[in-house]
Amino acid sequence: MLCRAVNGPATWPAFCSLQVIPLAKECLGPPRQGSNSVRTFSRPSPLPTLLAAALAALTLCGPATAQEATDWAKGRLLVMSRAGLSADDLDKAVKPHGGKARRIGNSDLHIVDLPAHASETAVQAQLKHHPHLKFAELDRKVSAAMAVNDPYTGSAWHLNKIGAPTAWDSSQGLGVTIAILDSGVSATHADLAANLVPGWNFIDNNNNTADVHGHGTAVAGAAAAATNNAVGVAAVAGRAKIMPVRIADANAYAYWSTVAQGLTWAADNGARVANISYVGVAGSLSVQNAAQYMKNKGGLVVVCAGNNNIAETIAPTTTMIPVSATDSNDAKSSFSSWGNFVALSAPGTGIWTTTRAGGYGAWNGTSFASPIVAGAAALAMAANPALTGSQVEALLYSSSVDLGAAGRDAVYGHGRLNVAAAVAAALATPAPDTTAPTIGIINPLASASVSGVVPVDVQASDNVGVTKVELRVNGSLVATDTSAPFAFSWNSATVSNGMKSLVATAYDAAGNSKASTALSVNVANAVVADTTPPVVTISNPVAGSRVLGNVQITLAASDNAGAAGITQKLYIDGTLKATGTGSSLSYTWNTRKVATGTHTLRAEARDAAGNTSSVTVSVSN
């Protein structure tokens, strides 16, 4: 990205990163496709001197304009259904708008495809108030925001700042996979190839995760470039695996839907940490729920705060770790956004990392503060594999260096990352959590009369975090919800009318559980009149057959309301011969006592609602 000093934001894609270009002073827009605007070196160079010159000549540029930030995908929305809502009932909710829903992984998140003529904003405005949907949102467009012998390690000031060499004595990330949700990762880079594991491409829906832009390779290198391999740079978690998950096009634009799909897939395929260096993802309810999905599996999601150099209005969330950027003096990087949503800060100025062309370059941006934290999370997880994601998150916060206002603040969050202290704390973490969650059903009210599809709301909390809540009616499992607010849709028509008992059970990551006090409600669905007659057949003898001697006549009947209410009758030549209840009736007919000729057998069935049917066969003797 070429830059000039201006009194307002630049108007090109807003990664959480800025590429350092020595002596560039004019903002000419984004680099041409296929170009490499990062200063690279093929052999050791006087990097600190060059970097200082580059930074001195460079005025950092801002992210996308407000207009660009409001872009969304045409023809689709993101919705989250209440747990237990059937596919048919979800279809009923979106069908009036011409929509068709498709589930994201095993979660309750869905992408709703709309017809060409539909207004995304109008449909979203209606669906967000639907009683059986947790939310509906536009699919927003986002853009990319131990001693070692690696040659460029001396220029990686951030590693000493966060205490990485000390942490490496105990952990280097072995056994942990970090998913890099980005533009892809170069599989041929000497500092990345050995650490790569298979990923997925959600733009083309295939396994080609080659980097189509360059941003993803740089982010991956900041998190987990191979360490102590006598090549290039060192990263925080040099022995962690890198899972490339492509969520962006060749211009490095992604959507909330591709991010949510990528997170869910990564969680289901073994990643314990995910990094998303894209602006604004922390403000998406869909991405937050996908992040919670990963957290429920023991993982963590780290995202960048953005490069707007303003106080963002994004609300705080516990589903992910938003990271602001700092410089070598522990001050906020000049480009970094801040706000109450920021949970942690980390170095993001002049970060030497890998480039798509196979070399190395210095990058600026919260795009690189974020993967540095992701790498730190991997070190803590590798140091103590028994820790949950929530426990690792808490350790990262408690071990950070408090900067700015005392305690958590809007600029640095809980503080600047200190990976040495975090790993030490992970190694010293005591016995697992034994405290059970608290839980209660808050809607419907006790003794309420309910019918149809019933919204059930549950309030649950835990000292570490609730991972799932199950709802049971009279002991039968209705559904499981894995993200707060815990909300269910129960189809009361699946049970008979009368008083029914609802119980919700909450579970935490340590396996502790607690059931709510049973809540009784009165199911009062309208009784629909039964107008369907039973079905009756004569299986023996068959029509047109010749009978001799004693003949076993066999009847069978069925009904939509069950066989228990069926009454069957058998007539021979108009005379009632046998009566019975249930699904079968048998009668032995002595044909020797009747005249020779043709005879008529007639079976009748009557159900509890009074509906009748009959069948007749003729035989001869």
> Which residues carry out catalysis?
182, 215, 367
Residue 410, judged by CB atoms within 10 A of its CB (0-12, 13-18, 19+), counts as middle
Phi and psi angles of residue 262, each rounded to the nearest 5 degrees, phi first = -65, -40
Token pair in block for residue 614: 């009959």
**DSSP characters for 104-158?**
-TTSSEEEEE--TT--HHHHHHHHTT-TTEEEEEEEEEEEB------TTGGG-HH
Rounded distance between C-alpha atoms, residue 261 and residue 472, angstroms: 29
H or E stretch covering 202: none
d(CA 566, CA 6): 86
H or E segment and range at residue 458: strand 453-461
Instruction: Give CA–CA dist 546/555, Å, rounded.
Output: 18
Tokens at residue 497, please? 């009318």
**Sign (positive or negative) of CA dihedral 323, 329, 334, 335:** negative
Query: Closest Cα partner for 148 from 48, 238, 41?
Result: 238
* φ/ψ of residue 5, rounded to 5: -80, 120
Spatial CA neighbour of 316 closest among 355, 295, 342, 354: 342
How open is the CA angle 581-585-586, to the nearest 5 degrees? 150
Q: Which helix (H) or strand (E) holds 34?
A: none
Look at strands 72-81 and 133-143 and give their pairing: antiparallel
Contacts of 503 (CB under 8 A, 6+ apart): 471, 472, 475, 515, 516, 518, 519
Nearest to 332 by CA among 352, 347, 316: 347
Where in 389-452 does DSSP place strands (E)?
438-443, 449-450
Cα separations in angstroms, 355 against 189, 211, 392, 443? 8, 10, 30, 54
Residue type, 484: A
Q: Give the Cα separation of 408 and 565 in Å (integer).
A: 69
Distances (CA, A) of 386 to 298, 380, 381, 431, 568: 10, 10, 8, 10, 66
Which DSSP letter does residue 396 get? Answer: H
Beta-carbon contacts of 572 under 8 Å, excluding residues fewer than 6 positions away, are: 589, 599, 600, 601, 602
Q: How far apart are CA 224 and CA 233, in angstroms?
A: 10
